[in-house]
Structure 1
Amino acid sequence: MEDFNSWKDLLNPEFYIKMGGFWLILFIIFAETGLFVGFFLPGDSLLFVSGIYAVEIIKETFGSTGSDLLDTTILATSVAFAAIVGNEVGYYFGVKAGPALYKKQDTFLFKKKYLYQAHDFFEKHGALAIIMARFLPVVRTFTPIVAGIVKMDKKEFLRDNVIGAVLWSFILIFAGHYLDKLFQEQFGINLKEKLELIIIVIVLVTTLPIIIKFLFGKKEDHSKYEDNSTE
């Protein structure tokens, strides 16, 4: 097994796959979508790379089913469930303790600006934000908390939560698995040997909207959120 010694490994999805496999992947997805301290964890890249390793992951955990499609489906379904539970935890955390976060001082693991960004995103897109946020790093961590703070209807949140989690997990995991097969069969390229490049591309693509907003977006007045937190 490959050794991992650098702190940078914490941002490397292959680290979690090699070190902890199936169960660590589920925990990372739960933490990244349900605990506000999990915003720095890999999400999109972890799912894509997990798709590449799907057959190996399921084989090591439960034993191979003999079907690539079934192995990949089991992994995607499990990840979707972890993501759903994570968002529900984030939602109820927002209901109970969310308002106090607007008064919380920034720490290494908590940045209030991310909460503001998620609030703006939620207000702009409404219920659809729960689905859309799945595909946006950082935003997906804080959006369910914001949904809880504004007391979004529980049933509507659960519906959008399930839709978003299923789309996110199945699209990225199946993309990773079948693109790997396509590149090997058609071009003789093993994506496992190109993981660093793949991760960089995924990070750039998924964070581009956030970077654009940061560079060109207008500065928002967030005092109204802090005022609401005291109600």
Structure 2
Amino acid sequence: MDEVSAFLIQYGWIVLFSVVFAEQIGLPLPAIPVLLAAGALAGAGKMNLAFAVLLSVVACLSGDVVWYELGRHRGRQALNLLCRIALEPDSCVRRTENFFTRHGTRALILAKFIPGLSTLAPALAGLFGIGHKRFLLYNGLGAALWTLAFILPGYVFSSQLEAIASHEARVGTFLLVALGIGLLAYIVYKFVHRQRVLRELRIARITADELKDLMDNRQEVFVVDLRGELDREADPYTIPGALRMTAEELEQRYHEIPRHRDVILFCACPNEATAAKMALMLRRKGITNVRPLAGGIDAWREREFPLEATARQAEPERVRAL
């Protein structure tokens, strides 16, 4: 804390804005220690509390607006970019979509306090067409609450934090090394696990052309659309005859999947990660003739193969709800 505080005293507002902005756009820079340090400095009379709060909120909103606009204008490309830098790309979009389904627009407030969802939520808000005013209202409220949640404790416990910082100066090197090794080990584990899962399914994938040939030759194929509710609302088309079933539903209803037919799973996430994960799950259940669709629904659409329209509303009811 003492090093962060000294850095803030020297560079002040630039550091606070830059670190908060960087975290919100997805860079691995922790903003919480900086917010705590800013609050402690304000408590010691070395920084203006109100301006620090305002600056953090503006930085937070600035980063979120970048992803919101990318979500509006680039759609799935923005989400794919975010998931490619995530540790768990197989679940990042699905978790956030489910969060939106449960909480509606209020998810923009709550997501600020959940690692992994904070950066993704603004992009999904743009993708699903949440209006600018509503986005700024709810996301701004979330940014303010998130900022206050960490600046105010620093302000209130300024003297205690200073004492802790003094103690950490003596044992800080050991703790930082231990935490660094632990974090590095976690990242390596997640990366290796991700690559192993994708490698296991890569050789078993089916291409859009191969699936189309099977369907044209009237082969018995069982196609499952794994996209979530909000994802389908944003893109209300699917492969003809596909059964719509979310990944969560498939985990509960896997017994409905035929064991003696070719089963094809597809989603809209990077590297067909959700489809790959569900294919592994079905194989563990004894359903062996299962393959993910390479490239998902986007690959099918790029080949200009036929699509089947599904019912669509102007905006998902749960997202409209206040």
TM-score, with structure 1 as normaliser? 0.63
User: How far did residue 92 of structure 1 move?
Assistant: 0.6
Structure 2 letter corresponding to 1:155: K
User: How far did residue 148 of structure 1 move?
Assistant: 1.0
Structure 2 counterpart of 1:209: none
Structure 1 letter corresponding to 2:37: V
2-side partners of 1:194 and 1:152: how far apart? 48
Greater share of helix = 1
2-side partners of 1:153 and 1:103: how far apart? 22
Fraction of identical pairs, as percent: 23
2-side partners of 1:85 and 1:104: how far apart? 18
Q: Verify the 8 A CA contact 2:41 2:158 in the aligned structure 1.
A: no
- 1:35-81 superposed Cα distances (whole Å, 9 cap, x missing partner): 2x32x22133332232123367x85xxxx6xxxxxx11211111111
User: How far did residue 132 of structure 1 move?
Assistant: 0.7
Structure 1 counterpart of 2:52: 75
User: How far did residue 193 of structure 1 move?
Assistant: 3.0
Pairing partner for 1:143 from 121, 126, 132? 121
Question: In the superposition, relative to structure 1, how do residues 102 and 166 fare at CA in structure 2: closer, same or farther (>3 Å)?
Answer: closer
Higher RCO, 1 vs 2 (CA within 8 Å, ≥6 residues apart) = 1
User: How far did residue 146 of structure 1 move?
Assistant: 1.1
Pairing partner for 1:54 from 32, 42, 66? 42
Structure 1 counterpart of 2:186: none
Q: Verify the 8 A CA contact 1:92 1:148 in the aligned structure 2.
A: yes
Q: Verify the 8 A CA contact 2:67 2:78 in the aligned structure 1.
A: no
2-side partners of 1:120 and 1:22: how far apart? 36
2-side partners of 1:143 and 1:28: how far apart? 19
Q: Verify the 8 A CA contact 2:36 2:150 in the aligned structure 1.
A: yes
Greater share of strand = 2
Q: Verify the 8 A CA contact 1:99 1:228 in the aligned structure 2.
A: no
Structure 1 counterpart of 2:29: 41
Tell me how large the CA RMSD over aligned residues is: 3.7
User: How far did residue 160 of structure 1 move?
Assistant: 0.3
Question: In the superposition, relative to structure 1, how do residues 157 and 106 fare at CA in structure 2: closer, same or farther (>3 Å)?
Answer: closer
Structure 1 counterpart of 2:77: 100
2-side partners of 1:127 and 1:87: how far apart? 15
Q: Verify the 8 A CA contact 1:43 1:137 in the aligned structure 2.
A: no
Matched, 1:167 2:145: yes
1-side partners of 2:85 and 2:124: how far apart? 20
Q: Which range is displaced more, 139-148 or 171-180?
A: 171-180
Which protein shows a greater Rg? 2
Structure 2 counterpart of 1:190: 163
Pairing partner for 2:14 from 18, 23, 26? 23
Structure 2: segments with no counterpart, 5+ residues: 180-246, 251-264, 270-295, 302-306, 308-322
Structure 1: segments with no counterpart, 5+ residues: 4-12, 65-70, 201-218
Question: In the superposition, relative to structure 1, how do residues 223 and 51 fare at CA in structure 2: closer, same or farther (>3 Å)?
Answer: farther
